[in-house]
Amino acid sequence: MQEQATSNVEVKPADPSKVRKLWTIAGVVGIITIAEIVLALVWSYPRDIVFIAAILALMIAKAFYIVSEFMHLKGEVKTLVWSILIPLLFVVWLVIALMFEGNATGEARGVLP
Amino acid sequence: MSDVSASIPVDKKNRWMGGNQPMNASYGKLMMWFFLLSDALTFGGLLVSYGMVRYAHPSYLGKLPEFTFSKEYWPVPEKVFEAMPFLEGHYPLIFVSIMSFILILSSVTMVLAVEAGHRHDRKGVVKWMLWTMIGGLAFLGCQAWEWSHFIHGIDGVGASLASNPYGPQTFAQFFFFITGFHGFHVFSGVVILFIIFYNAVVGTYDKRGHYEMVEKVGLYWHFVDLVWVFVFAFFYLL
């Protein structure tokens, strides 16, 4: 029974260009990670807002590659893409907004210069 | 899913007569996407609160070589996370970078398993899912070491929810909650991977005629990798 069911499943050969593309994207994600670590290790203290912006930008770039290529969101219907991305854009906005808000809170409490 | 739509007559003009898939995605995949969206909102809540509390505390304003741990300012991550297993000395951020690369690699092996599933290649699916599980377990092992080092603390003072020798108390609390919540996701990811791996080995998906379950667990696994991208940037870099 099982043998009969499996025998009609045809194994298609792998497409080398597809596999190579997947490794390339992994390489890009790895290089961005290395760039992040190098930035974090060489950037002098105290850190300024340029450093924070650079790390956030690299982080978003990495997230873009993972979601669009590995999770293959770019191959989905536009409606699905937007129904996933729009709620997340609000979260990204909230993260950045509350970093500034936290700073303002610290200033109001007098613990920040 | 073509076998399903073939048995039900599809009314192209009236979308409410059934037989078609909203957004051209199967039920299971669509629900996985929406589950991941809600999970992203949960992690978003944790990271939003972390970002706010982090910048409500003063940053360290001196030079790096003179840095000492203090409750007065947020600690410099490369001074907190600078240990390596089995090695003496200072290796700032190296261990956590290795953890990141393990997770990225396990993401690649997962996407290769999905690719093999598209080709109905059971051997490929089994091989690449096994590598993915090994990557996940390696990451969990690294995190266990990282936690025990953090809990061990410095100069006899350990880090916990009630004490933190590295800096403000909230730093330790956020560390435990956020990396712990992520680690639990990795753990449940490995469990789900194993279930799907077992099904693939015994031939369930050959009988079913498609390997969509591998795709769904792949989505979950990439999401775990994605969350680590954010946790890594917020905790170890900023």
The pLDDT tens digits of the residues spanning A40-74 come to: 988 887 788 899 899 999 999 999 999 998 888 88
Can you read off the two tokens belonging to residue B184? 């639990």
- pLDDT for the residue numbered B200: 93
Q: Give the Cβ contact number of residue A52 at 10 Å.
A: 16
Chain A within 8 Å of B17 (Cβ-Cβ)?
Answer: no
- pLDDT for the residue numbered A110: 86
- Tell if the CB–CB gap between B51 and A55 is shorter than 8 Å: no
pTM of the model: 0.88
pLDDT bin (cut points 50, 70, 90) of residue B84 is confident
ipTM: 0.86
- Tell if the CB–CB gap between B97 and A33 is shorter than 8 Å: yes
- Give me the DSSP letters along B59-122: PP-S-GGG----TTSPPPHHHHS--BTTB-S--TTHHHHHHHHHHHHHHHHHHHHHHHHHTT-H
Output the average pLDDT for chain B: 88
Closest residue of chain A to B226, computed from CA coordinates:
A63
Closest residue of chain B to A71, computed from CA coordinates:
B219
- Average pLDDT on B76-105 reads 86
Each residue's pLDDT tens digit, B139-177: 999 999 999 989 988 888 888 888 888 889 999 999 999
E strands in chain B: none
What does DSSP assign to residue B179?
I
- Average pLDDT on A101-111 reads 91
Closest partner residue to A9 among B56, B206, B238, by Cβ?
B206
Closest partner residue to B119 among A12, A41, A106, by Cβ?
A12
The separation between the first and the last C-alpha atoms of chain A, rounded to the nearest angstrom, is 76
- pLDDT for the residue numbered B8: 56
CA distance to A23, B4, B5, B25, B228, per residue, from B224 (Å): 19, 31, 33, 21, 6
Kindly report the nearest CA distance between residue B7 and chain A, in angstroms: 20
* Angle formed at CA B178 by CA B147 and CA A81, multiple of 5 degrees: 135
Among A4, A52, A66, A109, the residue to mutate for chain B (most B Cβ within 10 A): A66
